[in-house]
């Protein structure tokens, strides 16, 4: 669907600074929850999961290809703090960021 394609394009542009699905819905000029309804109807992951997955993948890249600290990556990714970032990262990958880095280098 065209809206989902545009949504993915917007995520690629704004995933670092914009963590709210409301931002993307406004950019797409659609009603709140409309993205979720479309995703559900097409048996696709919810928009918040798509966004979070993009953030996690980018974070993994930073962990493996830079010398930035977890705190610096959390700050760069606009998370509230490094602890929140670490909790989200561990929830999605099964490992805290520092252990992920050690295991994959």
Nearest-angstrom CA–CA distance, 41 and 37: 6
Q: Which residues contact 18 (CB under 8 A, 6 or more apart)?
A: 24
Percent of the chain past pLDDT 70, that is, above it, reads: 100
Q: pLDDT tens digits, residue range 14-24?
A: 999 999 999 99
Is the predicted pLDDT of residue 105 greater than 90, yes or no?
A: no
Domain that holds residue 60: 2-103
Number of compact structural domains in the chain: 1
Which of these, 34, 33, 23, 31, lies nearest to 1 by C-alpha position?
34
Q: Return the CATH number at 79.
A: 1.10.10.60
């Amino acid at each position: 669907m065209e809206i989902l394609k545009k949504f993915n394009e917007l995520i690629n542009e704004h995933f670092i600074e914009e963590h709210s699905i409301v931002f993307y819905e406004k950019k797409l000029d659609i009603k709140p929850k409309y993205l979720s309804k479309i995703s559900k109807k097409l048996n696709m992951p919810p928009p918040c999961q798509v966004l979070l997955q993009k953030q996690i993948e980018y974070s993994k890249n930073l962990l493996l290809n830079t010398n930035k600290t977890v705190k610096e990556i959390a700050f760069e990714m606009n998370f509230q703090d490094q602890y929140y970032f670490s909790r989200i990262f561990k929830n999605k990958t099964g490992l805290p960021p520092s252990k992920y880095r050690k295991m994959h280098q």
